[in-house]
Chain A
Amino acid sequence: MKRQQFDYISLPYLLIAPQLAIIMIFFVWPAAQAIYQSFMLEDPFGLSSQFAGFDNFREVLSSAHYATSAVFTLVFSALVAFLSMAIALLLAVKADGIIHGQSAYKIMLTWVYAVAPAVAGMIGTFLFDRSIGSLNHLLNATGWPFNPQLDVFDASFTVILVSVWKQVSVNFIYFLAGLQSIPRAVREAALIDCRNGFRRFWTVTLPLLAPTGFFVLVINITYAFFDTFGVIDTMTRGAPGGGTATLVYKVYQDGFLGADLGGSSAQSVILMILVLALTVVQFRVLEKRIHY
């Protein structure tokens, strides 16, 4: 095979320069700034600053509330990612099996995708409002003394429900596309070999869907970590008792609302490390089990 080669060494660099510049300005530079700030103690107006060593990190990590927030983030993210993927997969398999009116189902399941997280949060706020919320009344009518303003479990339930609802449609699109890309011949062969639908799904469809599943898992964890910010900000603002503040929401509270730059930078650096570790695990450990 003929090797493609540019005549001038500098041309390829010139061609990727805009992309590199964007990465530098919007990703590398802010990340470097965050790392720099996390070691500094600075007044909000930037009039005086001093090197603080690991003080910011020590204070963040020794705070009991940060630990609560970290546990909540892990439980919340795991539940959101798992539930939204499981429901989407179920819906995709069912929609894929329908012969008549398939497009109607597809459209109905997809259009939630167009709802912005903050709008989803507003819808959730109305549904769970104490006086006008229909879901609030419904849950209270079942005998559950449902009170998301005071009970952390109830509040977590509402933000998880809305976050999952918001994400199911995206997952559905990917899973359906994944299912439809499985060759018809393979499916027919499986149908002949095995009559048990569940086993067929488990041993043939699911492994073939694994690359899609892996991709969806990655975007869902990112979603649960970062994009649920809008839902939390509009619905609970971390209340009650700070029990629904994810780590990302805390960075916003301390840095953007509280003007504590060093502390919130230290938190973002911890998040960066966490995400880096998660990415390594995903691609080094999980991806090895996937066959494309």
Chain B
Amino acid sequence: MKATKTLLAAAAGLAMLGAGAAHAATEITFWHAMGGGLGETVNAIAKDFNASQSEYKLTPIYKGGYEETMTAGIAAFRANEAPNIIQIFDAGAATIINAKGAVYPVAKLLNENGVPFHAEDYIAGVRYFYADSKGDMIGMPFNSSTPVLYYNKDALAKAGVEPPKTWEEFETIAPKLKAAGYIALSQSHTPWIFSENFHSRHNLQMANENNGFDGVATEIKYNNEHMRMHFSKAREWQQAGYFGYYGTKWGDNQKPFIDQEVAMWLGSSGSFGGLKSAAKFDFGTTNLPYWNSITKGEDYTTFIGGAALFAFSGKDKAQNEGVAQFFKFLTKPETQFFWHKETGYVPITNAAYTLAKESGYYKDEPDAEVGIQQLNLKSAEWNKGYRLGYYVQIREVMNREYDQIFAGTKSVEDAFAAIEDGSNKLLARFAKTVQ
């Protein structure tokens, strides 16, 4: 294991050497997990940043998927070859934030390098996910998205129904959609949508220690009556032909919606651009449904998924200044609007959102605004997000158990007992490592 990591780090080091040419500008390296079209957009932003000034040269390097990028970053850090900036996804946030001294907190980095930072500049839903309990940002939110409901307009018209606001409404329209020849719903990423954001949308506590923000959480609260109720319902819907579960892979659950087999799909607001080109039908977007019976009529915000940028500590001053300048450039309204338009991820600052509104973008694409509106909904005690150690493995435990619920091989009660047990063991292990 360690040998692999050392080799990876060596390869990373070589890549950095290769990138560095006889250039007077301060080199800044940026490892990210944005492949394909997203990667090209990242490259475009880097190019614009480099063209905008001559003191720093930012080199973005694609390191594979989210998990691979995190592992590469960890290996590089252990070998003292860490890049300046690394993109870490939501589930890995606790790992890097709890590594004492590994990260130069963004709020501090900006303030110490002459770039003013105000948390209130960022839209509500992204403000706290990567922040400490005082609200100071540790990671810079980068590609932020939130779960939304996509619906096939023709299918809903054929069944004579409106997209549901609540799960109660869903239960009334699902039989009509079935009668019209559709499976009413599918969703991608059960841990993210049906578990993490379920808690945010209903303002439910997810873990002790203030969802992990105030300290290292040791107790997950998934095994509660609301989650069990929701999954019992989902299983009933599945058996009645209202809900399709096509496994754990993102695409497996999105495809039936694109194929018009499924009428509504819960995906990411960041899927908007991709769906636009893949779907051969007219679709609309609306908020993630919630249980009226749980929230008593309140419409709480969801929180973000996606990833943030972290600055590694221990770099020299000139490089840190460059990172601060890059973050300043990245959060500029124009840059954010460009990123938002190209990818479908939400603009992270209020100014960028205002710019997008003023430019008339949402007049042409009203559905592109849904994610941001949802993130600006009412927030309360438990909508900030979560910070849980070994969360990648906890998600793995959840996927394992959800598969078994929907395959009908395990009861909802047993599955949630197993999730609670497995997650708490992992949290306890993580707590021991960061002591």
Contact = CB atoms under 8 A, between A and B. Distances in A.
Interface of A: 26, 29-30, 33-34, 37, 41-48, 50, 52, 59, 63-65, 130-131, 149-152, 237, 239-242, 251, 253-265, 268
A152 B401 CA distance: 13
Given A59-B429, A65-B422, A150-B247, A45 B77 contact: yes
Given A48-B434, A242-B396, 15 more contacts: A41-B433, A43-B98, A52-B432, A63-B425, A149-B246, A150-B403, A151-B407, A240-B403, A240-B404, A254-B393, A257-B67, A259-B71, A260-B426, A262-B433, A263-B429
A130 B67 contact: no
Interface stretch (B45-53, B99-107, B357-365): B99-107
A47 B71 contact: no
A260 B404 contact: no
Interface of B: 1-4, 67-68, 70-71, 74, 77-78, 92, 95-96, 98-102, 245-249, 252, 255-256, 259, 390, 392-393, 396-397, 399-401, 403-404, 406-407, 409-410, 418, 422, 425-426, 429, 432-435
Given A30-B3, A45-B99, A59-B425, A240 B67 contact: no
Contacts of A255: 1
Nearest to A242: B400
Contact of A33 (B2, B68, B77): B2
B258 to A, nearest CB: 9
Contacts of B400: 65, 239, 241-242
A29 B259 CA distance: 52
A229 B256 CA distance: 28
Contacts of A50: 432, 435
B247 A41 contact: no
Contact of A260 (B101, B102, B393): B393
Contact of A149 (B78, B96, B247, B259): B247
Residue from A47, A257, A261 with most neighbouring chain B CB atoms (10 Å): A257
Nearest to A64: B418
B390 A130 contact: no
B101 to A, nearest CB: 7
A134 to B, nearest CB: 16
A72 B110 CA distance: 51
B390 A29 contact: no
A124 to B, nearest CB: 14
Nearest to B426: A260
A47 B100 contact: yes
Nearest to A43: B433
B255 A44 contact: no
B389 to A, nearest CB: 9
B1 A253 contact: no
22 contacts: A29-B3, A44-B95, A45-B74, A45-B78, A48-B100, A48-B434, A59-B425, A59-B429, A63-B422, A130-B255, A130-B256, A237-B249, A239-B403, A240-B248, A241-B400, A241-B401, A241-B404, A242-B396, A254-B393, A257-B396, A259-B70, A262-B429
Given A239-B247, A258-B392, A268 B1 contact: yes
Interface SS of chain B: helix
Closest 5 CB pairs of A and B: A149-B247, A45-B99, A30-B3, A241-B403, A242-B400
A153 to B, nearest CB: 10
Contact of B71 (A52, A239, A257): A257
A62 to B, nearest CB: 9
A43 B435 CA distance: 9
A37 B396 contact: no
A143 B331 CA distance: 56
B15 to A, nearest CB: 19
Contacts of B396: 242, 253, 257-258
B108 to A, nearest CB: 19
Nearest to A68: B400
Contacts of B92: 259
A254 to B, nearest CB: 6
A41 B432 contact: yes
A163 B70 CA distance: 30
A30 B5 CA distance: 11
A33 B101 CA distance: 25
B285 to A, nearest CB: 24
Contacts of B246: 130, 149
Given A44-B95, A255-B1, A149 B74 contact: no
A259 B407 CA distance: 29
Contacts of B407: 150-152, 240-241
Residue from A41, A43, A251 with most neighbouring chain B CB atoms (10 Å): A43
A218 B435 CA distance: 45
Given A131-B259, A268-B1, A47 B99 contact: yes
A16 B17 CA distance: 34
A44 B403 contact: no
A259 to B, nearest CB: 6
